[in-house]
């Protein structure tokens, strides 16, 4: 094991002596940076943008935006003014404190103005990934009781407006938008809007952002984060992202996922650094070009992306000058030692794994620039947070025992609610104090944590979390499908891919066309990333006597493993 350790070459990291900081650090020390230290009130958008706009950083580039059609730069002053303007458009649409404003559009500067504008009004922003289809969009807008939806003319067709009685206004970002009582032409109003706005000063415990995520049962759940999360975003931007004033930072995640807000918006801007946002889809050449063009110094991405780059070969890489890069991080899935080795050889840098989840709001277990890395390990808890391995009763287990990865309640960016479902929220906590992540892991004698797998059936495909229940529910809506069971199966690039086992209704027979039709049915109903890549047809599926599909048995079939205890199986 020891021979595999990668020593740090960065003694200049912001977190220099991990053990010492762990012993002495309290979160209250980080709070001094923010307005509530003086006024008792705060607003994330002020701290991330306006605070810098009003300082000597006002003319510094806050956002480098590019996609295939646009290439733009915005200073902190621009971001202040444009998010004020966007805020005014939303204010005119009736948005007030606590209202849910959903933003369903591809990455673009306007998305960022509108998200910040929502937060400036004290609203709760709900970013939705652009690939969502009608069913997924409806579930989220309905559950959250969204009052305003921001979208584009292209995506509007996927919004069942008539079925959403609480939705009062549509703010459409695009050309030739026809306005009516419900519909607002963003560009027209934005042009006319004032660039000053009275920020809504809120309590640090007030709601700020709602991210929907999947579990193994039930519909996606709305994970609510509050302004207080900024303490952890700010502190981990220093310690984990290692951001310093002159850094150019790029997080590749879309704001539809938590990484794209916590670390694509809040952390870098709280730290006052220049933030690169690249629109459009993944392409290896494009990504290398982006790193080169902007002279990116700190880069945060995901194992699937690194594996795709790795698979694309080093010849492509050799065409680009990536010498500005100094710190690379990864999140979302296990980071294979093989990928770390590729990083060492291709980029001459260590890739730093970080572990956290939608519910934790910010990084929790990480590898720090100044620390030794054990490839395959997620690292050690962020100072100020306490992580442990606990058994199912909440007892802390000794080193090297497999168990539930748990975090002591009370870290600043912890979710504050599951929207409308208090009992679901409570179900995350064991023995009162431990938040149980749903991941199994162990901790070694030196305090490094090692990921082992999910305890539940949640699937991680290309770093995106997919709930099998949601896919199964959609599958059985198809007229040919009698029963469906969905599992994740290992994939060398995407981590896992989605596999569905299907039993057809009487009168239907397997054909390639039917298989494709069923796959497209899920694509159209939920999203492309939720559609099963692989479908296997069976006469019937293994079920418990109460009729629940036994995914465990499907997984055992798939992986050629023993099926375990089948005593509850229907015969
Ligand atoms: O299983 C863990 C996996 O992703 C889950 C959380 O997914 P999500 O809420 O979508 O957030 C993803 C990004 C913040 C976790 O329960 N996961 C996340 N990071 C890692 C990981 N698995 C292994 N190693 C990681 N570094």
DSSP string, 407-467: EES--TT---EETT-HHHHHTTEETTTEEEEEEEEEE-TTS-EEEEEESS--EEETTEEE-
pLDDT at residue 369 in the model: 96
Question: Do 352 and 465 share a domain, yes or no?
Answer: no
Nearest CA to ligand 1 atom 15: 357
Q: Could you tell me the distance, in angstroms and rounded to a whole number, from the CA of residue 355 to the centre of ligand 1?
A: 6
Q: Give the span between the Cα atoms of 281 and 285, in whole angstroms.
A: 11
Residue indicated by tokens 């007229």: 479
Question: Do 191 and 67 share a domain, yes or no?
Answer: yes
Token digits of residue 235: 């502190």
Nearest partner of 87 among 109, 119, 58, judged by Cα: 119
Q: What is the CATH number for 511? A: 3.30.300.30
Nearest CA to ligand 1 atom 11: 357
114 lines ligand 1 (CB under 6 A): no
Nearest partner of 468 among 562, 357, 552, 558, judged by Cα: 552
Q: Could you tell me the distance, in angstroms and rounded to a whole number, from the CA of residue 356 to the centre of ligand 1?
A: 6
Residue 106 lies in a domain: yes
Q: Check if the beta carbon of residue 204 is closer than 8 Å to that of residue 413.
A: no
Residue 384 lies in a domain: no
Q: Could you tell me the distance, in angstroms and rounded to a whole number, from the CA of residue 528 to the centre of ligand 1?
A: 20
Nearest CA to ligand 1 atom 14: 357
Which conformational region is residue 432 in: left (phi greater than 0), alpha (psi within -120 to 50 degrees), or beta? left
Question: Do 40 and 179 share a domain, yes or no?
Answer: yes
Could you tell me the CA-to-CA distances from 113 to 44, 217, 220, 279, 325 in Å, in that order? 13, 35, 27, 15, 28
Residue 371 lies in a domain: no
Q: Could you tell me the distance, in angstroms and rounded to a whole number, from the CA of residue 358 to the centre of ligand 1?
A: 8
Q: Check if the beta carbon of residue 375 is closer than 8 Å to that of residue 4.
A: yes
Ligand 1 nearest-atom number relative to CA 330: 26
Burial grade of 448 (CB within 10 A; 0-12, 13-18, 19 or more):
buried
Residue 68 lies in a domain: yes
Nearest CA to ligand 1 atom 21: 333
Q: What is the CATH number for 335? A: 3.40.50.12780
Q: Could you tell me the distance, in angstroms and rounded to a whole number, from the CA of residue 367 to the centre of ligand 1?
A: 15
Q: Which of 296, 329, 356 is the last residue of a domain?
A: 356
Q: Please tell me the total count of domains within the chain.
A: 2
Residue 404 lies in a domain: no
Q: Give the span between the Cα atoms of 353 and 345, in whole angstroms.
A: 17
Token digits of residue 180: 């009516």
Look up the domain containing 183 and give its range: 18-356
Q: What is the DSSP letter of 398?
A: P
Q: Could you tell me the distance, in angstroms and rounded to a whole number, from the CA of residue 333 to the centre of ligand 1?
A: 5
Nearest CA to ligand 1 atom 8: 357
What element of type H or E holds 185?
strand 183-185
pLDDT at residue 189 in the model: 98
pLDDT at residue 394 in the model: 94
Helices (H), 294-348: 303-312, 314-318, 337-342
pLDDT at residue 571 in the model: 56
Ligand 1 nearest-atom number relative to CA 458: 1
pLDDT values of the chain reduced to their tens digit, one per residue, 571 residues: 445 899 998 888 999 999 999 999 999 998 888 888 788 999 999 999 999 999 999 999 999 999 999 999 999 999 999 999 999 999 999 999 999 999 999 999 999 999 999 999 999 999 999 999 999 999 999 999 999 999 999 999 999 999 999 999 999 999 989 999 999 999 999 999 999 999 999 999 999 999 999 887 778 999 999 999 999 999 999 999 999 999 999 999 999 999 999 999 999 999 999 999 999 999 999 999 999 999 999 999 999 999 999 999 988 899 999 999 999 999 999 998 999 999 999 999 999 999 999 999 999 999 999 999 999 999 999 999 999 999 999 999 999 999 999 999 999 999 999 999 999 999 999 977 999 999 999 999 999 999 998 888 899 999 888 989 889 989 999 999 989 999 999 999 999 999 999 999 999 999 999 999 999 999 999 999 999 999 999 999 998 777 788 898 999 999 988 877 776 676 5
Residue 237 lies in a domain: yes
Could you tell me the CA-to-CA distances from 28 to 274, 280, 500 in Å, in that order? 27, 39, 48
Query: Mutation test of ligand 1: which of 305, 306, 335, 356 has the most ligand atoms closer than 8 Å to its C-beta?
Result: 356
Q: Give the span between the Cα atoms of 563 and 542, in whole angstroms.
A: 11
Query: Mutation test of ligand 1: which of 300, 355, 452 has the most ligand atoms closer than 8 Å to its C-beta?
Result: 355
pLDDT at residue 431 in the model: 79
Q: Which of 327, 356, 385 is the last residue of a domain?
A: 356
Nearest CA to ligand 1 atom 24: 334
pLDDT at residue 562 in the model: 81
Residue 386 lies in a domain: no
Query: Mutation test of ligand 1: which of 209, 261, 331, 357 has the most ligand atoms closer than 8 Å to its C-beta?
Result: 357
| Total length of the chain | 571
- Grouping H, G, I as helix, E, B as strand and the rest as coil, residue 55 is coil
Q: Give the span between the Cα atoms of 276 and 62, in whole angstroms.
A: 8
pLDDT at residue 543 in the model: 84
Residue 473 lies in a domain: yes
461 lines ligand 1 (CB under 6 A): no
pLDDT at residue 35 in the model: 84
Question: Do 275 and 148 share a domain, yes or no?
Answer: yes
Q: Which of 331, 356, 381 is the last residue of a domain?
A: 356
Q: Give the span between the Cα atoms of 60 and 232, in whole angstroms.
A: 24
Q: Give the span between the Cα atoms of 187 and 189, in whole angstroms.
A: 6
Residue indicated by tokens 């704001």: 255
Show the CA angle centred on residue 364, arms to residues 362 and 369, nearest 5°: 100
Residues in contact with 410: Cβ distance below 8 Å, sequence separation at least 6, in sequence order: none
Ligand 1 nearest-atom number relative to CA 464: 10
* Full-model pTM: 0.93
Please list, residue by residue across 209-238, b when 16 or more beta carbons sit within 10 angstroms of its beta carbon and e when fewer do. Answer: bbbbbbbbeebbbbbbbbbbbbbbbbbbbb
Query: Mutation test of ligand 1: which of 333, 406, 441, 530 has the most ligand atoms closer than 8 Å to its C-beta?
Result: 333
Nearest partner of 287 among 267, 265, 316, 262, judged by Cα: 316
């Amino acid at each position: 094991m020891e021979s595999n350790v990668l020593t740090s070459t960065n003694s200049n990291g912001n977190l220099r002596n991990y053990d010492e900081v762990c012993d002495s650090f309290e979160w209250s020390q980080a709070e001094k940076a923010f307005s509530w230290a003086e006024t008792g009130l705060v607003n994330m958008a002020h701290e991330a943008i306006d605070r810098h706009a009003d300082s000597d950083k006002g003319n510094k580039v806050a956002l480098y935006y590019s996609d295939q059609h646009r290439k733009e730069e915005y200073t902190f002053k621009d971001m202040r003014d444009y998010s004020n303007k966007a805020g005014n458009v939303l204010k005119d649409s009736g948005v007030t404190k606590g209202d849910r404003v959903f933003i369903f559009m591809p990455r673009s500067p306007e998305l960022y103005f509108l998200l910040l504008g929502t937060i400036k009004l004290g609203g709760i922003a709900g970013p939705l990934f652009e690939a969502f289809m009608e069913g997924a969009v409806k579930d989220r807008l309905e559950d959250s009781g969204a009052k305003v939806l921001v979208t584009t003319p292209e995506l509007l067709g996927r919004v069942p407006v008539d079925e959403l009685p609480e939705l009062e206004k549509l703010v459409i970002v695009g050309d030739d938008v026809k306005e009516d009582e419900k519909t607002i032409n963003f560009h027209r109003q934005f042009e006319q809007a004032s660039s000053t706005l009275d920020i809504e000063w809120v309590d640090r415990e007030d709601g700020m952002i709602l991210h929907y995520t999947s579990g193994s049962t039930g519909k996606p759940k709305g994970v609510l984060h509050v302004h207080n999360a900024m303490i952890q975003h700010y502190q981990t931007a220093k310690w984990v992202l290692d951001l310093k004033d002159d850094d150019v930072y790029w997080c590749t995640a879309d704001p539809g996922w938590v990484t794209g807000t916590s670390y694509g918006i809040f952390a870098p801007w709280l730290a006052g650094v220049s933030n690169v946002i690249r629109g459009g889809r993944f392409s290896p050449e494009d990504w290398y070009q982006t790193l080169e063009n902007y002279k990116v110094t700190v880069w945060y991405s995901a194992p699937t992306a690194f594996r795709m780059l790795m698979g694309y070969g080093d010849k492509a890489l050799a065409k680009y000058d990536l010498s500005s890069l100094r710190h690379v991080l990864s999140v979302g899935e296990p980071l294979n030692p093989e990928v770390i080795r590729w990083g060492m050889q291709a980029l001459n840098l260590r890739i730093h794994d970080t572990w956290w989840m939608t519910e934790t709001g910010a990084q929790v277990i990480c590898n720090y620039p100044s620390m030794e890395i054990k490839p395959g390990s997620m690292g050690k808890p962020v100072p100020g947070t306490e992580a442990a391995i606990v058994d199912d009763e909440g007892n802390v287990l000794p080193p090297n025992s497999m168990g539930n990865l748990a975090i002591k309640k009370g870290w600043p960016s912890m979710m504050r609610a599951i929207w409308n479902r208090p009992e679901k929220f409570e179900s995350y906590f064991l023995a009162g104090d431990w938040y149980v992540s749903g991941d199994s892991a162990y901790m070694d004698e030196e305090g490094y944590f090692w990921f082992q797998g999910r305890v539940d059936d949640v699937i991680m495909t290309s770093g995106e979390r997919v709930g099998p229940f949601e896919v199964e529910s959609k599958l059985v809506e198809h007229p040919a499908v009698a029963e469906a069971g969905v599992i994740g199966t290992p994939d060398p690039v995407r981590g896992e891919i989605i596999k569905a086992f299907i039993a057809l209704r009487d009168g239907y027979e397997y054909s390639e066309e039917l298989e494709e039709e069923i796959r497209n049915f899920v694509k159209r109903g939920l999203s492309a990333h939720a559609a099963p890549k692989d479908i296997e047809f069976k006469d019937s599926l293994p079920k418990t006597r109460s009729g629940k599909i036994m995914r465990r048995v499907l997984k055992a079939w798939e992986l050629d493993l023993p099926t375990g205890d089948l005593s509850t199986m229907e015969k």
